[in-house]
Amino acid sequence: MAKKVYLAVDLGAESGRIIAGLWDGRRLRLEEVHRFSNGGVYLGETFRWDTLRLWGEIQNGLAVAGKKYGKQIVSVGADTWGVDFVLLNKQDEMLGLPYHYRDARTRGALERTFKKVPRAEIFAQSGLQFMELNSLYQLLAWKQHSPAILDAADTLLFTPDFLHWAMCGVKRAEFTIASTSQFVHPLKRNWSLSLLKKLGLPTHFLPKIVPPGTTLGKFRKSLAERTGLAGVKVVAPPSHDTASAVAGVPTADTGKANWAYISSGTWSLMGVEVQKAVLTPRALELNMTNEGGIDGTYRLLKNIMGLWLVQQCKRSFDAAGRKYDYAELAALAAKAKPFRSIVNLNDSRFLNPPDMPKAIQEFCRETKQPVPKTEGELVRCAYESLALKYRETLGSLEELTGEKVEVIHIVGGGSQSKILNQFAADACQRPVVTGPVEATAMGNLLTQVKADGELSSLAEMREVVRASAGVQRYEPAAWNAAADRFAELRRR
């Protein structure tokens, strides 16, 4: 029987959930309380988040939790994707609808930015991989098309920070989510004000950065009355969903770099856990990223275009009346010819095309490969390309740390894809251990348990994960010839 209950607000690109963690002192049992859809919304020529609808769904879920668990509930914390933010004025009014990171307004932003501040200097001031969707380039886009809104902004809150403010009224930037911005210093662990000033960007609206596990306050009185959750605390977990997912990896090797993780979902975030940011010229050359973790750690990783390709292929198939679930698509992919077509996931055409199958076909046609035509061929192309990108990234991680990775942990929703898990083991020539599926919720909730004094360290949190969740193991077979083909594509 649970002696305490903690709540995770977990928002992904496709859906959001309220998940309860029932804590008995040794194990954490998860119960989904409320689930709702998510996704970008087109408004004119722009792509936005329907943030107020999401907040409405969260309140509905909190009310359901209040009725079910009552006074057992200790705290709530939110985690979401990175980089996107809300701007508030002095009266706490939202300034515009928050943009989606896939909005086209930042196209070409990297080249324009490097003319003002060199790439190496930006990396030294942030430690982050260069992606035009990063918050830095979003701010520059705001300055270009709506400078008056930036001038009127009094507070910038990343998406989970906004949700925490909506819950308790406290404006803070949790460290792991702030570190996705590309304007947090990787050594000082604070805002890179000099970088922003060189780019002519305002800094007055940046809130204080706090570490994961910080208690922000109690529910607003009005929210407590609507949800029946009087006295419930708001605790900032690792608010970047990948940071929570990595905290929820069931490894016994905390503090070592001999294991890698893949947080698998719409994006694949592949990396290792390190004690200090890796800021070498080679890390810059390999376009690696250093994002904040729990207990002072950093996540040395690569953002990889993940199951987005498969999700968007499914969307196109559905629109054409060819409706399959993901299991059916995986079965079709398994029957397709191996290594027929491979794509370079770094190609910007895959970021948000109107028709993903056509984008894949165009790439294959341009690179003189057989053009995938059937659903199985298209999805297999996506899976194999993703697994080969994992192999390439694994080599970069081992080079930068000087450590051989012995095992790869795959967590998150994508860990349910058996075909991709096996492809990852085959491509990387490493055993793959999958699970928990709900690693993000686990990391979020166990940080709250730790903040409540029930646990004392990240190692203890992971011990609870091992005791609470099952895993599956995949052994590798060889993919060397395919890896050579993939490397050749990357050189084109």
Q: What share of the chain is helix, strand, coil (3-state, %, to 5)?
A: 45, 20, 35
b/e map 21-45, b = 16+ CB within 10 Å: bbbeeeebebeebbebebebeeeee
Please name each of the domains of the chain with its CATH number: 4-236 (3.30.420.40), 247-435+471-492 (3.30.420.40)
The model carries a pTM of 0.91
Q: What is the pLDDT along the chain (492 residues), one digit of tens a residue?
A: 678 999 999 999 889 999 999 999 999 999 999 999 999 999 999 999 999 999 999 999 999 999 999 999 999 999 999 999 999 999 999 998 999 999 999 999 999 999 999 999 999 999 999 999 999 999 999 999 999 999 999 999 999 999 999 999 999 999 999 999 999 999 999 999 999 999 999 999 999 999 999 999 999 999 999 999 999 999 999 999 999 999 999 999 887 889 999 999 999 999 999 999 999 999 999 999 999 999 999 999 999 999 999 999 999 999 999 999 999 999 999 999 999 999 999 898 998 899 999 999 999 999 999 999 999 999 999 999 999 999 999 999 999 999 999 999 999 999 999 999 999 999 999 999 999 999 999 999 999 999 999 999 999 999 999 999 989 999 998 776 666 666 666 665
Is residue 241 part of the annotated active site? The answer reads: yes
Q: Which of 241, 253, 295, 426 is catalytic?
A: 241
The Cα 315–Cα 39 span in angstroms is: 13
**What pairs with residue 76 in β-bridges?**
7, 234
Among residues 240, 349, 237, the alpha carbon closest in space to that of 12 is found at 240
Question: What type of residue sits at position 130?
Answer: F
